[in-house]
Amino acid sequence: MVSLGEELKRERELREISLREISEATKISIRILEAIEKNNFQALPGGIFNRNFLRAYAEFIGLDSENVVRKYHQQFDSSEEPVASTPGMAVPFQEPAVKKSSKTLPIVLMLILLVVAAAFLFFNRHRFLPRTNSNNRIFNIYYACLADPDYSGHA
């Protein structure tokens, strides 16, 4: 029995269409087209990507795309659909096992707000604390001594 990839390659060659032409028209890389023709679906991302690659390939060379997809499903049981096995290939998205609680976001936002408020108060504390004259008095005495060496500090 002829595999799906071999059948597609034979039809493409009968029509004298190059892989480069298909690649340019469908925007599917030549590497993926070669994997399809070699029936190496394990090198493809899997799922809907494989079906769409096959549809685009079949339509470009003038075959019935739905018939090609049907043959693909007959050849590969949908429960054992090939998945990307080579590094750098896309893998189907999987939901994370742990769902985050909806209470986490408000707590994090409150903590951020608290830290920002504390930093603002810390760096602007001189504006909110009462001013003492003790520091001013020391400077007044110092400057008075500079101006009048006989100044004793008593009024």
Residues 84, 43: contact at Cβ < 8 Å?
yes
- C-alpha dihedral sign at 137, 142, 143, 147: positive
Q: For residues 71 and 3, what is the distance between their CA atoms, to the nearest angstrom?
A: 9
- Higher confidence at residue 103 or residue 90? 103
3-state helix, strand, coil in the chain (%, to 5): 60, 0, 40
- Residue whose C-alpha is closest to residue 48's, from 74, 95, 81, 9: 81
Fold of 4-80: 434 Repressor (Amino-terminal Domain) (1.10.260)
Q: Is the pLDDT of residue 79 over 50?
A: no
Any idea where the domains of the chain sit in the sequence?
A: 4-80, 104-147
Q: 8-42 pLDDT, tens per residue? A: 999 999 999 999 999 999 898 999 999 989 988 88
Q: For residues 93 and 102, what is the distance between their CA atoms, to the nearest angstrom?
A: 22
